[in-house]
């Protein structure tokens, strides 16, 4: 797991854009594979797990960019 506490806001924004692009690419690949006549469910499952891991990492980066404000 990457320690995002040392990243600048600009670096976090760049990382977030990269992660979102990768997430979208995986979504497109999953969709394309699912629509084949004989979809490979093992590969689709692996891609879905990678996509979920990217979603979790996107959430972590977003948390660093918008920290909770304690009132």
pLDDT digits (tens, 9 = 90+) for 24-61: 999 999 999 999 999 999 999 999 999 999 999 999 99
- Residue 66's H or E segment, with its range, is none
pLDDT grade, residue 22 (50/70/90)? very high
Instruction: Give me 68's structure tokens.
Output: 């909770």
d(CA 52, CA 56): 6
Burial of residue 61, with CB atoms counted within 10 A of its CB: 0-12 exposed, 13-18 middle, 19 or more buried? buried
Return the structure tokens found at 49. 């797990």
Sequence spans of domains, the chain: 9-63
Distance CA 60, CA 3 (A): 10
The predicted structure's pLDDT at residue 71: 53
The predicted structure's pLDDT at residue 32: 97
């Amino acid at each position: 797991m990457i320690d995002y506490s040392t990243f600048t806001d600009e670096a976090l924004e760049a990382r977030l854009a990269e992660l979102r692009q990768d997430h979208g690419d995986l979504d497109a690949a999953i969709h394309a594979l699912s629509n084949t006549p004989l979809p490979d469910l093992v590969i689709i499952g692996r891609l879905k797990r990678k996509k979920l891991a990217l979603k979790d990492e996107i959430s972590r980066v977003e948390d660093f960019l918008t920290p909770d404000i304690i009132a």
